[in-house]
Amino acid sequence: MTGEPLLSVRDLRTFFVTDRGVLRAVDGVSFDLYAGETFGIVGESGSGKSVTCRSLIGLLPSPPAHTTGTVRFGGRNLVGLPMSEMQKVRGAQISMIFQDPMSSLNPVMSVGDQIAEAMEAHTSLNRAERRKAAIELMRSVGIPLAGRRAGAYPHEFSGGMRQRVLIAIALACRPKILLADEPTTALDVTIQDQILSLLLSLRDEFGMSIILVSHDLGVIAETCTRVAVMYGGQIVEMTDTETLLTHPRHPYTVGLLRSLPGTETGSRYLTPIPGAPPSLIDPPPGCRFYERCSLRTDQCRDWPAELLTVGQNHLARCLRHEHVEEIA
């Protein structure tokens, strides 16, 4: 990657104070996002991928969440920005879409009004101009008969169309960055396919960058240029998508790929990762994948589990990364 990153995240940490101790949901995440790219964050439930995404724009209430680190965007650090300042960034320059469009939409407001409302806060357009722009946006996101449908309510739309409405709201102020947290997980596969195609064409049309969070390696593979794999609140591997899929250098990434059905040929049984992810409440030092790793040695328990450079633009948090090919 060349040039200045659009967004630069360094040592991002989000902890939750719970009755049982401090839960380290995100524990030292660093990455850069460049203009025009789609950056993927992949991981399983509880890996910290969604919390990372929300922490970037301060969407988690504090307390209980406590975020530290830096998120450099437009010359300043978004972490710790006062609420009034953050609101000028959110929606205008960085927008977010979520998994379940129905719960993100206002059920008693027409979709046209909801899209126009997003512009009201951040633009100087008057009422009629906003309405016109809203219909134009509905057209760009592929809602048929946009002029007529602008007066309809969310329940009158299908799941796929609702997600298109949500995308229109997110794009209302032409943001530089779109955060998409499992945007297609609740949708059928043919509708998912439509929404992903739409997101990629809008990215090029609007000249924005996308951070796409997903549990689905297939979705990430088809849409992202670079990808970070998260496990136990940390990025365990980060590189370009093709390298990750063909030459993974972290045992967890290998485990994920081998767990996928429909890719192996010949073998009736799959190769799951044994055990379950670790508790993030006061986790022990050392590698968080230690308990489930087939390559572990005693050293793995004690080392500070840092991200190591294992190739060009390729980082892996594994002491034994040179041996990963043996199990891949």
Partner 1 sequence: MNDVATAERPLLEARGVSKHFVLADNLLRRMRGLEPETLKAVDDVSLSIHRGETVGLVGESGCGKSTFGRLLLRLYEPTSGEIYHNGVNILSHDARATRELRTRIQVIFQDPYSSLNPSMTVRQALEEVLAVHKVCPPGERGARVGELLEMVGLAPEMAERKPHQFSGGQRQRIGIARALAVGPDFIVSDEAVSALDVSVQAQILNLMMRLQDDLGLTYLFISHNLAVVQHISRRVAVMYLGRIVELAPTADLFSEPLHPYTQALLRAVPKPVARRKAATPALEGDPPNPVNRPPGCHFHPRCPHAMPICATEYPAPRAVAPGRLVACHLYDQPEPAVKTAGQG
CA distances from 162 to 49, 143, 154, 205, 318 (A): 24, 9, 7, 21, 42
x/- track of binding to partner 1 for residues 39-78 (CB under 8 A): -----xx---------------------------------
Minimum distance from residue 319 beta carbon to partner 1 (Å): 21
Q: Cβ-count burial of 246 within 10 angstroms (0-12 exposed, 13-18 middle, 19+ buried)?
A: exposed
Q: Does 84 bind partner 1 (CB under 8 A)?
A: no
Binding-residue total with partner 1 (CB under 8 A): 45
Measured CA to CA, the distance from residue 154 to residue 165 in angstroms comes to 9
Minimum distance from residue 269 beta carbon to partner 1 (Å): 5
Minimum distance from residue 77 beta carbon to partner 1 (Å): 33
Q: Does 160 bind partner 1 (CB under 8 A)?
A: yes
Minimum distance from residue 302 beta carbon to partner 1 (Å): 25
Burial profile 56-73: b = 16 or more Cβ within 10 angstroms, e = fewer: bbbbbeeeebebebbbbb
Q: Does 280 bind partner 1 (CB under 8 A)?
A: no
CB 323, CB 297: distance < 8 Å: no
Selected from 145, 276, 299, 325, the binder of partner 1 by CB under 8 A is 276
| 156-116-137 Cα angle (round to 5) | 75
| 95-42-167 Cα angle (round to 5) | 25
Q: Does 246 bind partner 1 (CB under 8 A)?
A: yes
Name the token pair of 86.
């953050």
Q: Does 87 bind partner 1 (CB under 8 A)?
A: no
x/- track of binding to partner 1 for residues 167-206 (CB under 8 A): ---------------------xxxxxxx-xx--xx-----
Phi and psi, residue 315, nearest 5°: -115, 145
Give the binding site for partner 1 (CB under 8 A): 44-45, 158, 160-161, 188-194, 196-197, 200-201, 215-219, 221-223, 241-242, 245-246, 255-264, 268-273, 276
